[in-house]
Amino acid sequence: MPNEAKHHGIYTDRGHEQRFKYHRQLMEESAPTINIVISDDHALFREGLRKLLEAEPGMRIVGEAVDGEDTVRVVGELKPHVLLLDLSLPKLSGLEVLAELGKLGAQTRTIMLTAAIEREQVIEALQLGVRGIVLKHSALQLLLKSIRCVNEGQYWIGHEGVSDVIQALRRMKPSRNAPGAGRNFGLSSREMEVIALIVAGYTNKDLARELGISENTAKHHLTNIFDKLGVSNRLELVLYAVDNGLVTND
């Protein structure tokens, strides 16, 4: 049997093995490569992370940055798919980098990779457009999952990916009353109901069904709410509601 070989006591078909390897190679080659920039002021951390990520199929480190200003320049020039950004950087902080990249209209999706971060910083980072937040002590597999998740257009908060960040924000609501608690900002009782449902993750269709109204009416309520609060999308609305105590902890 010329096409057979004995491998660890099991006969295998060499032709089958070769075909399997060929198809696997084709799959790896056809999968889009994620271009990544690492931004951190610690050379040893950057070097170690680069080696770990480059060993992963489908990921390529296209650049590194050592401070905030360098990060803005490198991302602007290389336009990576994903930026791994440290929160504490010289010259410009991670949050300031996010603000600068927003001004440039950068399409790069950013993951804040940091040793520690406060809840208020999480909310500010989300307001500035961050797509993921991962702690540096997290397992490598978690970081790899977060990169793929964010590259596909989702959010990654803590230890899990979320298609919509609303539920993650709801879990981060302050337990104490926020400065705006008790104020309705000129909102009607129905509009306050709509806000509560948006924070709970309801879509326009869900809103309409829950409130017994048409989808067009639900959209009209949202438009009025956006105008009254000066926000332009659902994420901004949820952040505003969280910051100003427009939702309860129930």
- Give pLDDT tens digits for 21-51: 555 455 455 568 999 999 999 999 999 999 9
Reported confidence tier of residue 239, pLDDT bands at 50, 70, 90: confident
Is pTM, for the whole model, over 0.85? no
Poorest-pLDDT segment among 129-143, 178-192, 207-221: 178-192
DSSP the chain: -TTEEEETTEEEEHHHHHHHHHHHHHHHHHSPPEEEEEE-S-HHHHHHHHHHHHTSTTEEEEEEESSHHHHHHHHHHH--SEEEE-SS-SSS-HHHHHHHHHHHT---EEEEEES---HHHHHHHHHTT--EEEETTS-HHHHHHHHHHHHTT-EEETTEEESSTHHHHHHT--SSPPTTTT--TT--HHHHHHHHHHHTT--HHHHHHHHT--HHHHHHHHHHHHHHHT--SHHHHHHHHHHTT-S---
Pick the CATH number of 189-243 from 3.90.1580.10, 1.10.260.40, 1.10.10.10, 3.30.390.50: 1.10.10.10
Pick the CATH number of 31-163 from 3.30.1490.390, 3.40.50.2300, 3.40.50.880, 3.40.50.620: 3.40.50.2300
Residue 71 has pLDDT above 90, yes or no: yes
What local confidence, expressed as pLDDT, does residue 60 receive?
Answer: 94
Residue 87 has pLDDT above 70, yes or no: yes
